[in-house]
Amino acid sequence: MEDGRTRGRSEKVETDVKLKAIIEEQEHDLNVRIDGGRVRAEFGDRVYDLELREPEPGSYLFLRETELHECHVSKAAEGFEVSLHGSNHVIKIVDPKRLRSGQDTHGHSHGMAEITAPMAGKVVKVQIDVGASVEKGSGIVVVEAMKMQNEMKSPRAGVVVSIHVKTGDTVNTGDVLAVVE
Amino acid sequence: MFRKVLIANRGEVTVRIIRACRELGVKAVAVYSEADAESLHVRVADEAVCVGPAASSQSYLNIDAIIAAANSVNAEAIHPGYGFLAENADFARAVTSAGLIFIGPSSEAMELMGSKTSARRVAVESGVPIVPGTVEALVSFEEARKTAEEFGYPVMLKAAAGGGGKGMRLVSAGDELLSAFETAQTEAAAAFADSALYLEKAVERPRHIEIQIFADTQGHVVHLGERECSIQRRHQKVIEECPSPINDPDLRRRMGEAAVKIGQAVKYTGAGTVEFLLSDATREFYFLEMNTRLQVEHPVTELVTGIDLVREQFRVAAGEPLSFTQDDVRWVGHAIECRIYAEDPANNFFPSPGKIAYLREPAGPGIRVDSGVANFSEVSIHYDPMIAKLAVWGRTRDEAIERLRRALDEYQVVGITTTLPFFREVADDEEFVAGKLDTGFIARFNERRRVVALPQEQVDLAMIAAAIHYSRHEQPVFVQTGTQVSDGRWKMAGRAAGLRRWKRT
């Protein structure tokens, strides 16, 4: 039995949230309201009214009027990866209700450049010593992964202030190999 | 024909060979490492045998374990695929002495062509031109320096035992030689257990064109035309075509005849590929090397000639004559293949291993996908990052390119970074469309490519999808907001969960 008082409009509202979406280091404020199979999303004055379907978990079908957009979302190391019309986007969602301020600020101290491992692998050669001067593009460390030797180069000219690995070390994605200042 | 064949490989090539087995009514046995127990090539086989731990040196390269596996299942023949042991003459010999048939050429032909220095001698003796360079392996860096100065820079350093771009360096000036020499040596030693290098004069703006040959045990040697493989990164092919955009029947005939001569000289049997460098300006070609195996890019030849190269390999290995003669070979239409690598094209094609979270492969007219992965496959750091090949066919090159664009748009791989978006850009590139290809294509393409901003709507929709996914699937039920637990959110989470259950059933 339904009556108008207990089954108000808010009953049907699945989601009504304010979030921040970060894509390519740009922050966007986003309001999303999902209500009875429809989505209203607002980026300030850019407003989208969409019909929403989820034919399989993580696959979303948007109908904007009759225009169809299909995307797939999966969890990525940092946030989500969304594929849409042949492009993949890495998007981080920040929920202000769940985050204390101060999180997620990893600024670079000026003038320092960290050389990090872009993937897991093995250090096969350290080409330079602490204190050495390097040019932009100078080889610092050689990492072997997937049968390929990859020379990690300095992104800038400067002095090597620290080296964090030695030959034979196994490194993971994002590990700092060396720092150039 | 054989009753049962073991495939000493993994990934998409194993899946490809299993398809040929099925068509011929041959039972297919896969081998796998501990890391590959759930891989696609195992899932589609009739039987599977574990041959060791993840490291390929202890599994896919473990000759004893593979032969023991073949014996344990009573296989009659072993197909090596490409990579791993495919060009290892010791392996071919071990297979034969175990009383099994090696689906490939004789170990003698392999040895002769496997060393690039002896292969160059064979070419010279057959009257096929070679790129000026050292015929013997370099004995020292000092010799490398002297020879390089003699030929003049730029020069190429290559691993004598090499292949697949490993241990290969282009050296454009003298001050780069030492570092290139050392890294090429280390890479060659790691890849082939042989650090010997040789040196060649670099041909400027060369096209990389190869000829597919096929030979049977009755002495027939034929060619199946060329493949253009000029689009390379790190000296590894990423896009291949048949025919070459040059599409010159006379040149095809001359290169085909040169390739057949080399095949005859080494008494070749089975599928082989003779690689040439072609100067675009002079249309002169130089023998580069011969690959004594099936090639990664064999689908483009199959699409254009209609000949199934893997089935033909089985025939020849079983002692039957080729199913076609040189005059039977016709080239119809145009085919293009893209190698889909788990690599980041925006980051210098750096490998990008990980788990495939979602996969949808293209299909439809003129599309062929040779894939080694499925939904939720793990692309591991242990093996080559190529996950699949997309090949398209059209009546003309233009039609093939249109199909390529369409198929790339259909192709969805989520969870790992792949070279798909790169290919989509190349498919629109003017030089590519005009067929102006040479081995420097990618370097120039990267220089001129403009990052075209996506329409705002598309970026917005992607963010909306991420936000919806977050609120539907990632938000915890217990939402702690300071000291107050919001009653509304509890209810909402419950309702959302109820709604999802309802939606899915």
A62 and A14 share a domain?
yes
Residue B306 lies in a domain: no
Residue A27 lies in a domain: yes
A141 and A86 share a domain?
no
Chain B residues with CB inside 8 Å of A72's CB?
357-358, 412, 414
- pLDDT the model gives residue A129: 87
Determine the distance in angstroms separating the CA of B40 from the nearest CA of chain A, rounded to an integer. 19
pTM above 0.90, yes or no: no
CATH number at A58 reads 3.30.700.30
- Name B149's bridge partners: none
Q: Which of B2, B166, B165, B14 minimizes the C-alpha distance to B81?
A: B14
- pLDDT the model gives residue B399: 98
Q: Is B420 near chain A, with CB under 8 Å?
A: yes
CATH number at A170 reads 2.40.50.100
Nearest CA in chain B to A80: B466
CB of B283 within 8 A of CB of B265? Answer: no
- Scan residues 162-191 of B and list those with Cβ closer than 8 Å to A: 166, 179, 183, 186-187, 190-191
CATH number at B73 reads 3.40.50.20
Mean pLDDT to the nearest integer, A102-125: 64
A24 and A90 share a domain?
yes
What range does the domain containing A136 cover? 113-180
Write down the catalytic residue from B233, B293, B311, B368: B293
Give the helix ranges, DSSP H, for B193-341.
Answer: 249-265, 298-305, 309-317
Residue B463 lies in a domain: yes
A23 and A70 share a domain?
yes
Residue A119 lies in a domain: yes
State which of B183, B201, B219 marks the end of a domain.
Answer: B201
Residue B331 lies in a domain: no
B interface mutation test: which of A6, A30, A63, A72 has the most B CBs within 10 A? A72
Residue B226 lies in a domain: no
Q: B240-254 in b/e burial notation, b at 16+ Cβ within 10 A?
A: bbbbbbbbeeebbee
Partner-chain contact A34 B468, CB within 8 Å: yes
Residue A107 lies in a domain: no
Q: Is A152 near chain B, with CB under 8 Å?
A: no
Residue B15 lies in a domain: yes
Nearest CA in chain B to A92: B466
State which of A94, A124, A144 marks the end of a domain.
Answer: A94
Residue B16 lies in a domain: yes
Q: Which of A39, A95, A97 lies nearest to residue B464, judging by beta carbons? A: A39
Active site residue B293: yes
B146 and B66 share a domain?
no
Structure confidence by residue, pLDDT tens digits, A62-87: 999 999 999 999 988 778 999 998 88
Domain total in chain A: 2
A123 and A159 share a domain?
yes
B96 and B27 share a domain?
yes
What range does the domain containing B184 cover? 132-201
Question: Percent helix, strand, coil in chain B (nearest 5)?
Answer: 40, 25, 35
Determine the distance in angstroms separating the CA of A65 from the nearest CA of chain B, rounded to an integer. 14
Helix (H, G, I), strand (E, B) or coil at A1: coil
Domain total in chain B: 4
A89 and A117 share a domain?
no
Residue A78 lies in a domain: yes
Mean pLDDT, consecutive 10-residue stretches, chain B (505 aa), reads 98 98 98 97 98 96 98 98 96 98 97 89 94 84 92 89 80 92 90 88 88 98 97 92 95 97 97 94 90 97 98 98 98 98 89 93 98 95 95 98 96 94 95 94 90 89 96 62 40 45 38
A21 and A63 share a domain?
yes
CB neighbour list of residue B126: distance below 8 Å, 6 or more residues apart: B258, B261, B262, B264, B265
Helix (H, G, I), strand (E, B) or coil at A4: coil
Residue A42 lies in a domain: yes
CB neighbour list of residue A165: distance below 8 Å, 6 or more residues apart: A123, A126, A141, A171, A175, A177, A178
Determine the distance in angstroms separating the CA of B327 from the nearest CA of chain A, rounded to an integer. 42
Residue B18 lies in a domain: yes
